[in-house]
Structure 1
Amino acid sequence: MNGTEKWTDLTARLGSAAAMVLIGAFGIWMGGLVFHVLVALICGMMVWELVGILRPDSTKLPLLLGGATGAAVLLSVYLPVGFALPVLLAPALIGFGQIERNRTIYMVFTVMILLSGFGMIQVRDDMGFGWMLWLVLVVIVTDVVGYFAGRAFGGPKFWPAVSPKKTWSGTAAGWGGAAVVGLLFSINTGVGLQLIGISVAISMASQMGDIAESAMKRKMGVKDSSDLIPGHGGLMDRFDGMLGASVFLLIIGQSIGFPPGLA
């Protein structure tokens, strides 16, 4: 690959990224119902893409399961936790009975999407704008720094059979970028320096989400989850890192006393 070919998709990626940043920033800033609806729409559309990959012969099923997912995420926010949890998981089980093949893939990814949406809403509602911004920045910086470092430095591939463009240089650079975000937030929020390590762990979890989605697409023989976003593919292609990061934070947040040092 020559120097020009490395950057052929950069213009489309930057334009789409700018639009997504503006929409996401508005939703995070507004919080409340605006953010809840935005997250529910994203989750519903990701399941729509997922079912479209697993059942390309059906047009109705992706819409039904995507709509059920979005509704479940939104409804779960306004229910007591004990009632929210079964509502949240219902679309995964309902779809499991409707997907004739690759049911495990559907159930695992749908549960991740549902928990990710619930986790993001919990971070914004319970911890506020600043910590939601931290989570998003860790994921974005991991992806952006990894993209540019991987294209610039190249080197050994991370998992060429599944993700041919991902390199160890880009992967490690993503950790470094996340560490810088953690350092800056630890300085400006008064939390302990443990936030640096947590940020790197969140970065790794986001990369795991990216790898899991790449492996699923490779198994299903598709390049992108959809063509909704020029230069990026679909919403799952763009938010796969957030799936891993927010689910990981939702699981470990209580056990580590997050944010660290504020108790």
Structure 2
Amino acid sequence: MNFDEYCQQKAAPPGSSTYYALRQSPAASQPLLTALFALRRELEETVKETSDPAIGRTKLAWWQNELASLAGGSPSHPVSNALAAYLPDVKAEYPALQALLGGFEMDLDQARYLDYPNLRRYIQSVGGAFAGLVARASAKDKAQASNWAAPLGEALMLAQFVVETGNDARHGRIYIPVDEMQRFNVPAADLINRKYTDGFTELMRFETKRARDALTVAVGAIPANERRTQRTLIAHVALALALLDEIERDGYHVLHQQIGLTPIRKLWIAWRAR
């Protein structure tokens, strides 16, 4: 298996939202974008699918060294080799790659967030830094891309938190701020034990509205001359908005199941978002 095939299987298996979103981007951009999404998936799996934090830290330390090797011109991992092949200026993007890794490292140290400003530190690294990398991969004005891409990446993270509420809670992580749960009288035990209450419904309505509003504002802020270059991010926003609508129609029953869209619907939404 070459590194392109590895990245494709890791980042965008057929039927996934990322698969359809990537297919909307110009063909010349797809290999680099796929490699970036593959890296994000590697880091996410390292912290979220490793039960022992010590093992997770060891794996992240390996990735820290691997990213340094990538910047130094001697990568060894298939994803790093793909980035070396397609990323025009690895050294220039090295700080953003480190920021992305640092964001996931927070998952090993913190499973709850007291308030939204604390949570935002996490989503700025994991969501904002990553969206900046994706945007710059094909942006016409790379110097300005982070200004509008970072809020978009943060908004996508907010939507992901809604979708993954139950799954995250079962793995010991809650990305809904403590003060917001208290405001709606929803204890953490309700999320972990999959208990639906009127308070939980109101809490999820609040979280969903925040994510939807943030997505709408962020996608609208993409400059007109960049909209063709950012079809992958725009498709991701469209898919996220459709999924939030589906969750809302289902009554926010996200604790015991992961609500999703069918592959054919994903294809249609991603294509139409172009």
Interval containing the TM-score (normalised by the shorter chain): 0.3 to 0.5
TM-score by length of 1: 0.33
TM-score by length of 2: 0.32
